[in-house]
């Protein structure tokens, strides 16, 4: 192994091997100038240092992995193998100087650690192995990856956070799958009895996903893999399967004996798209790449005169077969709001995006209730979400859907929000009154489901006698004193109204007593004070006697003697209060009622 500086002079040049055959098959260099080499060895004395496996396993051959620093010093060197043979094929490193090695093994005792598949699955056939070594050469994980037939890895990539992506071909019906877009073997026979597979392992070696990719023809060889900074995997190759799995397909059907395929998987393993690409002849893709916008670039060969072209530099086939280059963009989903949309202000209004469509699946529905640029509600479900509007009116609702490939689409719809009338408690605060007095009608606890209406305030109207005409025009006064010059029972009305003219009316009874009825009410109140313990029976008897005398005078049509008895009643009440025999509050109530009767009598 030799390293030259920019001037072509030796930095170092060294043998690396033992007494038998040693073949280097994989090579990588990290940003620090460390060199990583891997291959197969039949030497029991291959040089080792800081080895994860220091001893040769006496099989046909073991894998070896070695790391040399920038000056050629050995950092580590280790065997990696079991009692049969392990030809390594692929080696990559990451920014943390971890080394990832992929190859094939037919050993039942290949070293494993933190393995997703700890056991050899296919005696007589070969499994894939995937091994990760840290910067010092210690095992992070090491695992078999295979099923009941031959499995071979042909591509290996690592993303910026240390997820490993392994792709290859499998003829196994029991290849391990997880979160798969295709969980079962597609089929095939003879030479074509193979599917592609793609497996993603997280930095600790656990499955993120593992999936077949193929149909009933041949799909398991001659393809390429690339992984972008976001963890999207791009695959391109050759398929002869008419039932190769497609999604968001630019070309959904096989057109020739074999077509190219291009597949893009999201970081969780779901389809962004998967498509055929070819014409009536044979076509295959051998390289795939990407740009910062997530567009895929595919190159390969075509023998088709009708290969689909777009903005072509060369529009026709010029030979038996030509190269082709294609650039593919992600296909968006379709967003559609179920209409009509409407409801009441202040209440949740259901929104529904179930008419939206995407053949790879929509993972997120976002709702901008007033189309103001901010999404108010989000859900993985098309329905079950709701928008609440603080006021009535016409609004524009915006829906954004995101599919499993992180492609988005939007739709808008009109929302009609109805005004809801405010509510309140309406009461007569005065109770029964004497004719000629006023009753206070009042609103309390006003409520409107519209926040905007509540902040704007309410207006109140009053119809004191229930004659269907509001005597008091709308105002901000939440109470009003209604005069009642004659006795009777009246049905008073009150109306509360919001800024959008939504209103609710209430009624309340107002009982207006004539003077004779007022004396009976006053007598009842004295008896209630006695029953409640506020007034002793003896002085109460004197009060009731005066009221009975006043009633008798009124019955005879004699107003002045009745007024005199009521005045005497007031004097006695005042004396009881002064003597502490009657609470002042109760005294004021009795005096007020008696005074109203006197006023009603015109005295």
pLDDT of residue 468: 80
What average pLDDT does range 544-566 have in this prediction?
A: 93
Q: What is the pLDDT of residues 6-55, one digit of tens each?
A: 999 999 999 999 999 999 999 999 999 999 999 999 999 999 999 999 99
Distance CA 135, CA 231 (A): 23
Which strands make up the sheet holding 437-447, listed edge to edge?
423-428, 437-447, 479-484
Judge if 349 and 410 occupy the same domain.
Answer: yes
Cβ-proximal residues to 376 (8 Å cutoff; 6+ apart), any chain: 367, 368, 369, 370, 387
Could you tell me the maximum CA-CA distance found in the chain, to the nearest angstrom? 144
Instruction: Indicate if the alpha-carbon torsion angle 117, 123, 129, 131 is positive or negative.
Output: positive
Distance CA 217, CA 193 (A): 7
Instruction: Read off the CATH number of the domain in which 385 is found.
Output: 2.60.40.10
Judge if 429 and 481 occupy the same domain.
Answer: yes
Does 72 fall in a domain? no
In which band, very low, low, confident or very high, does the pLDDT at 189 lie, cut at 50, 70 and 90?
low
In which band, very low, low, confident or very high, does the pLDDT at 359 lie, cut at 50, 70 and 90?
confident
Does 380 fall in a domain? yes
In which band, very low, low, confident or very high, does the pLDDT at 308 lie, cut at 50, 70 and 90?
very high
pLDDT at 122 over 90: no
Domain housing 371: 341-418
pLDDT of residue 471: 87
Examine the fold and report which residue of 397, 418, 439 is the final residue of a domain before the chain moves on.
Answer: 418
Examine the fold and report which residue of 513, 530, 563 is the final residue of a domain before the chain moves on.
Answer: 513
DSSP label of 218: B
* Contact call for residues 563 and 601 (beta carbons, < 8 A): yes
Distance CA 211, CA 359 (A): 18
pLDDT of residue 237: 94
Assign 3-class secondary structure to 461-508.
EEECCCCCCCCEEEECCCEEEEEECCCEEEEEEEEEECCCCCEEEEEE
Q: What is the pLDDT of residues 224-260, one digit of tens each?
A: 999 999 999 999 999 999 999 999 899 999 999 999 9
DSSP label of 176: -
Q: Among residues of the chain, what percentage have pLDDT more than 70?
A: 99
Judge if 434 and 502 occupy the same domain.
Answer: yes
Closest to 459 (Cα-Cα) out of 472, 450, 471: 472
Distance CA 548, CA 517 (A): 12
What average pLDDT does range 287-296 have in this prediction?
A: 93
Judge if 445 and 390 occupy the same domain.
Answer: no
Which strands make up the sheet holding 296-302, listed edge to edge?
283-290, 296-302, 322-328
* Number of structural domains in the chain: 3
What average pLDDT does range 465-476 have in this prediction?
A: 88
pLDDT of residue 331: 80
Examine the fold and report which residue of 458, 481, 513 is the final residue of a domain before the chain moves on.
Answer: 513
* Tokens linked to 91: 């080696």
Distance CA 238, CA 261 (A): 6
Does 64 fall in a domain? no
Mean of the per-residue pLDDT values of the chain: 93
Judge if 501 and 566 occupy the same domain.
Answer: no
Judge if 487 and 550 occupy the same domain.
Answer: no
Judge if 429 and 413 occupy the same domain.
Answer: no
Judge if 346 and 386 occupy the same domain.
Answer: yes
Does 459 fall in a domain? yes
CB atoms within 10 A of CB 363: 17
Distance of CA 101 to the CA centre of its chain: 38
Cα angle vertex 542, ends 540, 548, to 5°? 100
Q: What Cα–Cα distance (Å) separates residue 537 from each residue in 44, 328, 527, 528, 534?
A: 122, 103, 9, 11, 10
Judge if 524 and 595 occupy the same domain.
Answer: yes
Judge if 508 and 519 occupy the same domain.
Answer: no
Phi, psi values for residue 139, rounded to 5°: -70, 130
Q: Among residues of the chain, what percentage have pLDDT more than 90?
A: 87
- Write the DSSP string, 519-575: HHHHHHHHHHHHHHTSS-HHHHHHHHHHHHHHHHHHHTT-HHHHHHHHHHHHHHHHH
Q: What is the pLDDT of residues 79-98, one digit of tens each?
A: 999 988 887 779 999 999 99
pLDDT at 190 over 70: no
Instruction: Indicate if the alpha-carbon torsion angle 318, 322, 327, 331 is positive or negative.
Output: positive
pTM above 0.85, yes or no: no
Assign 3-class secondary structure to 415-430.
EEEECCCCEEEEEECC
In which band, very low, low, confident or very high, does the pLDDT at 603 lie, cut at 50, 70 and 90?
low
Judge if 400 and 460 occupy the same domain.
Answer: no
Q: What is the pLDDT of residues 143-154, one digit of tens each?
A: 999 999 999 999
Distance CA 165, CA 160 (A): 12
In which band, very low, low, confident or very high, does the pLDDT at 295 lie, cut at 50, 70 and 90?
very high
Phi, psi values for residue 244, rounded to 5°: -55, 135
Judge if 431 and 412 occupy the same domain.
Answer: no
Does 395 fall in a domain? yes
Does 398 fall in a domain? yes
pLDDT at 117 over 60: yes
* Contact call for residues 337 and 368 (beta carbons, < 8 A): no
In which band, very low, low, confident or very high, does the pLDDT at 332 lie, cut at 50, 70 and 90?
confident
Burial 277-311 (b: 16+ CB within 10 A, else e): bbbebbbbbbebebeeebebbbbbbbbbeebeeee
Closest to 325 (Cα-Cα) out of 304, 295, 283, 297: 297
Residue 435, H or E segment: none
In which band, very low, low, confident or very high, does the pLDDT at 296 lie, cut at 50, 70 and 90?
very high
Q: What is the pLDDT of residues 160-169, one digit of tens each?
A: 999 999 999 9
Closest to 349 (Cα-Cα) out of 377, 329, 307, 380: 377
Does 250 fall in a domain? no
Does 159 fall in a domain? no
């Amino acid at each position: 192994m030799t390293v030259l500086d920019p001037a072509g002079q030796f930095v170092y040049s060294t043998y690396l091997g033992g007494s038998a055959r040693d073949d280097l098959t994989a090579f990588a260099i990290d940003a620090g100038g460390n060199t990583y080499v891997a291959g197969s060895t039949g030497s029991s004395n291959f040089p080792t240092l800081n080895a994860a496996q220091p001893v040769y396993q006496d099989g046909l051959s073991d894998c070896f992995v070695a790391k040399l620093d920038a000056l050629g010093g050995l950092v580590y060197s280790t065997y990696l193998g079991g009692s049969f043979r392990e030809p390594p094929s692929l080696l990559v490193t990451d920014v943390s100087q971890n080394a990832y090695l992929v190859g094939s093994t037919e050993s039942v005792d290949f070293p494993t650690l933190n393995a997703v598949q700890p056991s050899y699955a296919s005696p007589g056939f070969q499994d894939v192995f995937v091994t990760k070594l840290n910067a010092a050469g210690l095992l992070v994980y090491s695992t078999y990856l295979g099923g009941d037939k031959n499995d071979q890895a042909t591509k290996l990539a690592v993303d910026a956070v240390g997820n490993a992506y392994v792709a290859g071909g499998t003829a196994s019906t029991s290849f391990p799958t997880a979160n798969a877009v295709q969980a079962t073997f597609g089929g095939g026979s003879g030479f074509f009895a193979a599917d592609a597979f793609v497996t993603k392992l997280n930095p600790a070696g656990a499955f993120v996903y593992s999936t077949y990719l193929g149909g009933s023809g041949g799909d398991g060889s001659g393809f390429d893999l690339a992984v972008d900074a976001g963890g999207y995997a791009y695959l391109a190759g050759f398929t002869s399967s008419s039932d190769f799995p497609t999604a968001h397909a630019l070309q959904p059907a096989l057109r020739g004996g074999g077509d190219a395929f291009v597949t893009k998987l999201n970081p969780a393993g779901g389809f962004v798209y998967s498509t055929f690409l070819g014409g009536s002849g044979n076509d295959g893709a051998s390289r795939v790449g990407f740009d910062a916008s997530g567009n895929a670039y595919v190159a390969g060969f075509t023998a088709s005169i009708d290969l689909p072209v777009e903005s072509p530099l060369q529009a026709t086939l010029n030979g038996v077969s030509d190269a082709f280059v294609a650039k593919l963009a992600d296909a968006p989903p379709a967003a559609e709001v179920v209409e009509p949309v409407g409801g009441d202000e202040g209440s949740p209004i259901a929104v529904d995006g179930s008419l939206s469509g995407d053949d790879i699946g929509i993972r997120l529905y976002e709702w901008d209730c007033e189309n103001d640029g901010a999404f108010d509600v989000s859900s993985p479900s098309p329905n079950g979400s709701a928008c609440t509007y603080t006021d009535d009116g016409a609004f524009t609702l915006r829906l954004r859907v995101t599919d499993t490939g992180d492609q988005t689409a939007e739709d808008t719809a009109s929302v009609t929000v109805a005004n809801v009338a405010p509510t309140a408690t309406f009461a007569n605060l005065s109770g029964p009154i004497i004719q000629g007095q006023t009753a206070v009608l009042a609103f309390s606890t006003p409520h409107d489901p519209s926040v905007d209406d509540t902040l704007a305030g309410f207006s109140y109207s009053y119809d004191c006698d229930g004659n269907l005409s509001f005597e008091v025009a709308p105002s901000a006064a939440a109470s009003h004193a209604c005069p009642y010059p004659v006795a009777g029972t009246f049905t008073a009305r009150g109306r509360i109204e919001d800024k959008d003219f939504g209103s609710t009316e209430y009624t309340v009874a107002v009982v207006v007593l004539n003077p004779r009825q007022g004396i009976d009410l006053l007598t009842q109140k004295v008896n209630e004070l006695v029953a409640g313990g506020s007034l002793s029976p003896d002085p109460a008897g004197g009060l009731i006697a005066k009221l009975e005398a006043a009633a008798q005078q009124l019955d005879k049509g004699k107003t002045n003697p009745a007024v005199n008895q009521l005045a005497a009643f007031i004097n006695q009440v005042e004396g009881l209060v002064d003597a502490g025999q009657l609470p002042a509050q109760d005294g004021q109530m009795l005096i007020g009622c008696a005074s109203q009767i006197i006023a009603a009598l015109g005295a």
